[in-house]
Amino acid sequence: MILQALYRHYQLLQEREGDSMPGEEYSAADVSFDVHLNENGQIVAIIPHVNEKGKIVKQKHIVPKQDKRTSGIKPYFLCDKAEYLFGSAIGMRDACREAMKSLWKEVLMDSGTESLEIHALMSFLNLDNEQLSEQIQRLVDGNVLESLKSGGLCVLKFVPTGRFLHRDPTIQRAWENYYRKSSSDCESADEAKQICLITGDQIPVSQIARLHPSIKNVVGAQSSGAAIVSFNVESFCSYGHEQSYNAPTSQKSAEAYGFVLNKLLADPNHNVRINDTTVVFWADSSTKREEDWLVSLFQDVQQEAENSPMDEESMRTRVKSAVRHIRQGQKFSDTFHDLDTNTMFYVLGLSPNNARLAIRFWYTGTLGELGERVWSHYQDLSIIGLDRSPTIRELLREIAVGHDWSNIPPNMEGQMLRSILLDLPYSRAVFAQLMNRIRAESDDPKKGLYKIGAIRAAMIKAYLIRQLRVNKNTLEGEITMEINEQLPSVPYHLGRLFACLEKAQVSAQGQGLNATIRDRFWGAASATPANVFPRLLNLAQHHIAKDEEWGRVNDQRIQEVMNALPPQFPKRLSLEEQGMFALGYYHQRQDLYTKKSDK
């Protein structure tokens, strides 16, 4: 199903992008060097691709087909490593250059013409090692030479025209004729056939992909790429088949899904890293609007600023302001009325597993289905003080030690995505980790981090609502965005009382306290209130007596909250009740520190 969805997206991109997509005889390659040739085939420049920091980077080129290379010597046409182009002239194997010369000459001799470009290439192939070595030493310094030896791909540019040789029409025709002839030579009329698992077509065994393409840019995987489909242990194989013949897929289909997955992974607008998982997402849409909607669910603030401008009508602005639209009573269909709700969406989570990739999760659905579920997620998150819809990464950062992405516990991202995309209760493991972080951490205003900030309070509210909803508990409707003084929950009002007691302390002793009762007593008050609250109430009376300006107001507020509590404080609160305690605390603080004119 995953490979079929990727293949369909490849076909969609062919319709949308046309000539920028590689045909059957071509594939995409990441190139690090341009080798400039003059009309006599001599090297006049070797230009590395560098960024603004001087670091060598890769550029995408559509080049003559490059089958997956494992061990042994296997040259590519017009785009290859320096070892194949220069051989012993740079201290590498001569056998590689000899194999390259044999392939290139075979292709070019079938061209039937002698253009300037072909003449230059043939002259380049006839250069001996001494001539090559002299030209290279004159043109590159030691650092570039070492970079060449490290294995980056090179392409050739014809200086008189300034055009890459692999884009020359005459040379392209020669390559296409060679490729088709080579493919037909491998077929025979009575050859056995198998069904391609991606397209369902019957294909000759010779056209089945022996090795599936390498997938690059997955965080933690090998830089050279890792395979989704591979067989390296006898127990994985069956019926005497070896390698990828156990999953028969045509070479064309395999290269198509590999190309499109690598394209998505190279585009920051179609993937995001969540801890050790790389999440890839795309839509089967002929327009960009539907894809932009999906991208906006995952992009964090930094990516958003780097990759595209924001304006009031942009898709990302509408997604980020979803919580505000919800407060205004809008539904998904109101805010995103211009989208095609029948568009199919795909979300794929990939993690490294030695030389392979592991599928962490895979979700599909229409825009209408996914949109309603995401809208429900934002609706559950909506809370006073939260003015921008948080992305999944921003939610998960709240459960990480020190708010560091690398400290997000394993598997949490998959659990959170599953809950959102399938409209299920949030994982209790995520909630437990969140409560642990609240208990352990303190405010750090300089970094904009708070023990219970708006996002953490929103996550608590959403978790509680979803748990109550699945259990059909009527209390679900009582948990509101703002403070609810009538909520029939003792832990909720205990949290409100704790906020009022803290307010009385700060009002009496000033804002410059090294530690408030929240810093000293939060854990005990939220877990074992009967042991702590009598002491805190006695302490509050001292604060109220000292506070001539606000003492009476604070005392009255404490009494009002006490009226909602039973005569005896609970001895112990469960984890969910501690969450209700934290929510009551947050709501009460927002009410205390919000100007009456703003309410």
Segment 477-491 mean pLDDT: 94
Structurally, the chain folds into a number of domains equal to 4
Tell me which of 219-223, 426-430, 454-458 is least confident: 219-223
Range of the domain at 83: 20-185
- The verdict on 96 and 122 lying in the same domain is yes
* Mean pLDDT, rounded, for 148-169: 92
Answer yes or no: is pLDDT of 308 > 80. Answer: no
Query: At residue 232, does pLDDT exceed 80?
Result: no
| Residue 430 backbone zone (phi > 0: left; psi -120 to 50: alpha; other: beta) | alpha
Q: Which residues pair with 79 in a beta bridge?
A: 155
Tell whether the model's pLDDT for residue 288 goes beyond 80: no
Residue 9 lies in a domain: no
Q: pLDDT band for position 48 (50/70/90)?
A: very high
What would the pLDDT profile of 522-553 be if each residue is shown by its tens digit? Answer: 999 999 999 999 999 999 999 899 888 888 99
Out of 266, 287, 321, pick the residue that ends a domain.
266
**Percent of the chain beyond pLDDT 70?**
93
The pLDDT assigned to 449 comes to 78
Question: What is the mean predicted confidence (pLDDT) over 312-327?
Answer: 77
Residues 136-159, mean pLDDT to the nearest whole number: 90
Taking a C-beta distance cutoff of 8 angstroms, is the pair 431, 575 a contact? yes
Confidence at 301, pLDDT banded by 50, 70, 90: very low
**Do 256 and 279 belong to one domain?**
no
Mean pLDDT of 118-145: 91
Rounded-to-integer distance, Cα 548 and Cα 541, Å:
12
Tracing tokens 């002698």 back to the chain, one arrives at 114
Average pLDDT value over all residues in the chain:
86
| 502 vs 70, higher pLDDT | 502
In terms of domains, do 244 and 140 share one? no
The pTM is what?
A: 0.71
Q: Which residues pair with 28 in a beta bridge?
A: 62
Do the beta carbons of residue 45 and residue 38 sit within 8 Å? Answer: no
pLDDT value of position 311: 47
- In the predicted model, is pLDDT for residue 196 greater than 80? yes
How many secondary structure helices (H) and strands (E) does the chain include? 23, 12
In a shared domain, residues 149 and 237? no
Domain for residue 216, yes or no?
yes
Q: Are residues 170 and 213 in the same domain?
A: no
Q: Write down the pLDDT at residue 27.
A: 87
Looking at the fold, whether 217 and 88 belong to one and the same domain comes out as no
Query: How far is residue 378 CA from its own chain's centroid?
Result: 20
- Rounded mean pLDDT, 379-399: 90
pLDDT at site 299: 63
Q: Within 10 A of 49 (CB to CB), how many other CB atoms are there?
A: 15
Both 259 and 278 in one domain: the answer is: no
